[in-house]
Amino acid sequence: MADRALITGGAGFIGLHLARRLLADGTDVILLDDFSRGRTDEEFAHLRADVTVVEHDLRLPLPPDKIAPVDDVYHLAAVVGVRRSNEMPARVLTTNILATVHLLDWCTRTSPRSVFLSSTSEIADGAVGLGLATLPAGEQVPYVLPDTRLPRASYSLSKVVSETLMWQGGHDFRVRIGRYHNVYGPRMGYSHVIPQFIERLLAEENPFRIHGAHQTRAFCHVDDAVAATVALTGLPGAGPLLANIGNDREETDARDLAERLFAVADRKPDVEVLPPPPGSPDRRLPDLTALRGLAGYEPRIDLDTGLRRTYEWYAANRREPR
């Protein structure tokens, strides 16, 4: 167990849930965020009393004396989301790479015990889409970028570069890389399919639009993702480790996902099926063999339970209508 831990992007979705877990484990937690996306809502305000908050933009170097040395570092800070990748690909690419470069430089100077890098399932999408790999996708699937001109490619490319920087540059600490696969849960914003579906259900949209109803995903509740993250980061051994993080038990398509949420909301809207978003893969499913073997991980929260918890949170925390 770490005495002190730093979470970059600590005011964000996974960052806040991870901070709660580490505090429950007795760890002193430092949250670093530039608050460009991280929220200062009521939940963060409650957490703030128990953590140290450092405001900093990791596009700039982190001064060596701004944060005292820590045992573990969880690098979650990044610009994420399909909309942002499509609208501001250059910012996604430069921000995510610079954040990793500057954090790596700080870690090289302060020598934490372990550094966890959050990466993405999108790294495998290109090879799977071209038939160069099969599903479920393991960590050794080659990274293939069919068209560098597509704005959406900026995110996966930024994460591949970040993985390489950590893997090759983390000589003085343990490097742990987790590729998150469709993590969802309370307080995840509105840029992903589950909160978007929930928001439209709460607004009583009818007909209910589903883009790419046939496309399948395997969703992982944030509590399971956090448990896997902590377990992977705490593993002994000097060499770098890479593992998928997700839930491979309940692959579902977009139509079924909507129907499950209809049941939670007790609504039966008409359904309008539309084409999938450009560049969106038809299927995504992680191979969790490595994570199970390394950390004994098993997802614990089934999809219906997780969707109900998430729906209830959004229903209780509705944002102002747009």
The proportion of the chain whose per-residue pLDDT surpasses 70, expressed as a percent, equals: 98
29-38, 125-134, 189-198, 231-240: least confidently modelled range: 29-38
What is the average pLDDT across 85-92?
93
Q: Which CATH number fits domain 4-185+219-248+286-300: 3.20.20.70, 3.40.50.720, 3.30.70.1050, 3.40.50.300?
A: 3.40.50.720
Predicted confidence (pLDDT) per residue in 142-199, tens digit? 999 998 898 999 999 999 999 999 999 988 999 999 999 999 999 999 989 999 999 9
pLDDT, position 322? 43
pLDDT, position 320? 60
What is the average pLDDT across 48-72?
95
pLDDT, position 65? 86
Distances 162 to 89, 208, 212, 266 between C-alpha atoms, Å = 16, 38, 30, 43
Q: Give the whole-angstrom CA distance, residue 153 versus residue 149.
A: 8
pTM score:
0.96
Predicted confidence (pLDDT) per residue in 209-230, tens digit? 999 999 999 999 999 999 999 9
pLDDT, position 38? 56
pLDDT, position 319? 74
The proportion of the chain whose per-residue pLDDT surpasses 90, expressed as a percent, equals: 88
Predicted confidence (pLDDT) per residue in 244-291, tens digit? 999 999 999 999 999 999 999 999 999 999 999 888 899 999 999 999
User: Between 1 and 115, whose confidence is greater?
Assistant: 115
pLDDT, position 39? 61
Q: Which residues pair with residue 216 across a beta bridge? A: 253, 283
Residue 133 has pLDDT above 80, yes or no: yes
pLDDT, position 191? 85
pLDDT, position 40? 67
pLDDT, position 157? 96
